[in-house]
Structure 1
Amino acid sequence: MSTYVIGIDGGGSHTRVVVADDCGKLLSYVQKGGCNRYHDSHAEQHVLGGIAEALEQAGIRPEQVAAIQAGMAGLDRDEEFAWAKGVLAKTGITGRKSAVNDTFIAHTAAFNGEPGIVAIGGTGSLILARTELEAWIRNDQLGHYAPTAARFLSYDAVHSVLAGRYVQQDQPFIEQILAYWNVHSVQELTALGAAGFAENKQEMNRKFSQMGPLVTKAAIRQTPLAMRVCDSAADTAVVGILMLSGCFRSGQISYTLTGSCLTSPYMVAAVQKRLAKNNQTTGRTFQYITSDLPAVGGALLDAYHLAGIHVKEGTAILLQEQLKRYTT
């Protein structure tokens, strides 16, 4: 009987592939480039290469894999799931294969099947809830989008600079932005923008995404422009969380934040502060929890479930301890 499982956390920047046995022992960990095909033209190669390398490191064959759960950024429509299914079919794995939006494995990592809301703000942005009745609902189902992804923070900051919406206190931050884009003045940055910022849209999004930490770090330093950008983004995340909370019966909602932007200290504090203010108007309280298990660990837990392998008490903690070696 096959007793090995594979978990994949495929984001816009990185694809992490982990192989584990039925006792929760990690056999391999591989990291490749992003797997969102809209952001990376090599997405398929990253997924297939990561799986092949992880299997080789673990010393097992594809037919020994009981289940694989792939959380992949950018999976929303039928044609995207069909693409992911086609990619996994090329692996040679005969066990159960599943591909979901990466928000779902982040939810499993945080709540392990329990009700709660997870908001992602990293390379991508999405808010997902699982209710007490085991119903899944996303903020985009309500026509809502929270621009908390790194590139959107950067876009907002750069656009504000180009529009002249800044004060003297912002000058050191503006100098950082100019240095990042390798220009010497706002006028040069304007000219660069008029030329498209980069050779193509994928490259432009990548550049803006990589600039994200400049914005969140500047907000921590109390830079007015960066604070305004982050406060605006945090407020959109709060709106999404509040809307999804209306689908719960309980008056106490657990939520978590994940992704490089939303987990920055400034953004966490901004979201917590705004949700706390809504306690009286909504009649609900919001409990922020931190997830020590990375999303790829959530993918492994899902894979055990797919394979029908009983997850022993303490397995999540065991996975967490082993994954620390690769994520810290």
Structure 2
Amino acid sequence: MHPRETPFVIGIDAGGTHTRVGLFDVSGDLLGLAVGRGGGPHHNDDAQENIHATIHAAAADARRDPRAARALVAGIAGINRESSNQGQDHRADAGSLVDIGGISGPTRVVNDAISAHRGALAGEAGIIVVAGTGSMILAIARDGTETESGQFQHYAGAARHLVHDVVQRILLGDADDADPLPARVHEHFGVADRSELRETVLDLSSTAPNEAKRRFGDLAPVISGMIGSSPFARSAAARLCDRTALGVGLLMPSIDGDTVPVTCAGSLATDPSFLELLRCSLTRLPGPQVPALVPARLDPLRGSAILALESAGAAVDEATLRRLASSM
């Protein structure tokens, strides 16, 4: 068979900041890859345009016609899970986000936490914490039952919520003058002092919502990067980790067993300093079950690829998982 006739699938991971698209042959080898602008409709007004452009870029990298894909699965932030009333429902227009016209194989759009879970735990039962531009904590049981912490009216928060906490406490005057973080916050927002920061935050409340989200969210890597040098940053991150651990604790009874695997995805949740604090927060959970923080086996893009391979009727075995991992 000519290489360009090799059957392939398309996997997509579309978050609030970036869209990643990969073309994979049916054995799990990567054929083409592209990274584009954010594809989560909750955070990007141009989500459809960004996803379509990234699909075509990945197909060009693989020198394939994307319409020949045997299956396409996209994990997209902001898409409600089936039968879920959590968050903003974008299921009605989910298909158009990936519809480039003419793909003959099955097409499926899921919440990005579904793809992240499938990749990180490789089909095993457990809990995933997703925290980046958006946030979700999701448990999938051995029988496939899905439960998210939002069903218990719980929401831990994403990168921008870490920033919100820091900014609000600066505005309250709750920061030590010797701490280096407030100066970095002032620099980020282009202000000289707390009074100007207050006015800037108020001005952001009247701008386009997605623009305000990005303005706050862009500061999160600075805060997480200062956890070791700023007590103010560490205390804010610790509060977010405590809220995150609470969500994990609410979900643990959904998973059978004394030890519950917990893994993470997203720019904030996978930050080493954040993970250190989350590990401490998890150890303080009460109850008979013990959460075990484990590394993700595959990333969310390859989680979508697994789902696409399954949709195409391809066998996903240990050899396939190793091939998928080899291209990370």
Residue aligned with 1:169, SS: coil
Match of 1:84 in 2: 94
State the alpha-carbon separation in 1 of the partners of residues 163 and 252 from structure 2: 29
Q: Which amino acid aligns with 1:321?
A: S
Match of 2:183 in 1: 175
Residue segments in structure 1 that go unaligned for 5+ positions in a row:
324-328
Calculate the TM-score normalised by the size of structure 1: 0.92
Match of 2:293 in 1: 288
Q: Which amino acid aligns with 2:137?
A: I
1:103 to 99, 113, 133: 113
2:11 to 7, 11, 22: 7
State the alpha-carbon separation in 1 of the partners of residues 133 and 170 from structure 2: 22
Q: Quick check: 2:139–2:255 contact (8 Å CA) kept in 1?
A: no
Aligned residues: 318
Aligned ranges 1:216-235 → 2 under 5 Å: 216-221=224-229, 223-235=230-242
CA drift at 1:89: 3.2
CA drift at 1:301: 0.8
State the alpha-carbon separation in 1 of the partners of residues 168 and 316 from structure 2: 49
2:27 to 2, 11, 23: 23
CA drift at 1:54: 1.9
CA drift at 1:79: 5.1
State the alpha-carbon separation in 2 of the partners of residues 245 and 190 from structure 1: 40
Q: Quick check: 1:255–1:287 contact (8 Å CA) kept in 2?
A: yes
Q: Which amino acid aligns with 2:222?
A: L
State the alpha-carbon separation in 1 of the partners of residues 319 and 216 from structure 2: 40
State the alpha-carbon separation in 2 of the partners of residues 6 and 226 from structure 1: 39
1:157 to 160, 166, 169: 166
CA drift at 1:38: 2.7
Q: Quick check: 1:2–1:65 contact (8 Å CA) kept in 2?
A: no
State the alpha-carbon separation in 2 of the partners of residues 26 and 142 from structure 1: 39
Residue aligned with 1:300, SS: helix
Match of 2:75 in 1: 71
2:257 to 227, 250, 253: 250
Q: Quick check: 1:10–1:71 contact (8 Å CA) kept in 2?
A: yes
Match of 2:144 in 1: 134
Q: Quick check: 1:18–1:54 contact (8 Å CA) kept in 2?
A: yes
2:123 to 99, 113, 124: 113
Match of 1:241 in 2: 248
Match of 1:272 in 2: 279
Q: Which amino acid aligns with 1:13?
A: T
1:304 to 303, 309, 312: 309
Match of 1:196 in 2: 204
1:187-221 Cα shifts (integer Å, max 9, x gaps)? 21122123226742211110111100111122222
Range with bigger deviation, 210-219 or 64-73? 210-219
State the alpha-carbon separation in 1 of the partners of residues 62 and 25 from structure 2: 10
Calculate the TM-score normalised by the size of structure 2: 0.92
Bigger share in helix: 1
Match of 1:326 in 2: none
Q: Which amino acid aligns with 1:146?
A: A
Q: 1:275 to 1:190 in 2, by over 3 A?
A: same
1:29-84 Cα shifts (integer Å, max 9, x gaps)? 01110011231111100111111222233222244211111000000169512211
1:313 aligns with 2:318: yes
Q: Which amino acid aligns with 1:41?
A: D
Q: Quick check: 2:15–2:38 contact (8 Å CA) kept in 1?
A: yes
Q: Quick check: 1:51–1:91 contact (8 Å CA) kept in 2?
A: no
1:143 to 153, 165, 175: 153
Residue segments in structure 2 that go unaligned for 5+ positions in a row:
none
1:50 aligns with 2:54: yes
CA drift at 1:173: 1.0
State the alpha-carbon separation in 1 of the partners of residues 101 and 76 from structure 2: 16
Q: Displaced runs of 4+ in structure 1, greater than 4 A?
A: none
Range with bigger deviation, 117-126 or 181-190? 181-190
Q: 1:2 to 1:67 in 2, by over 3 A?
A: farther
Q: Quick check: 1:2–1:66 contact (8 Å CA) kept in 2?
A: no
Residue aligned with 2:12, SS: strand
State the alpha-carbon separation in 2 of the partners of residues 248 and 53 from structure 1: 39
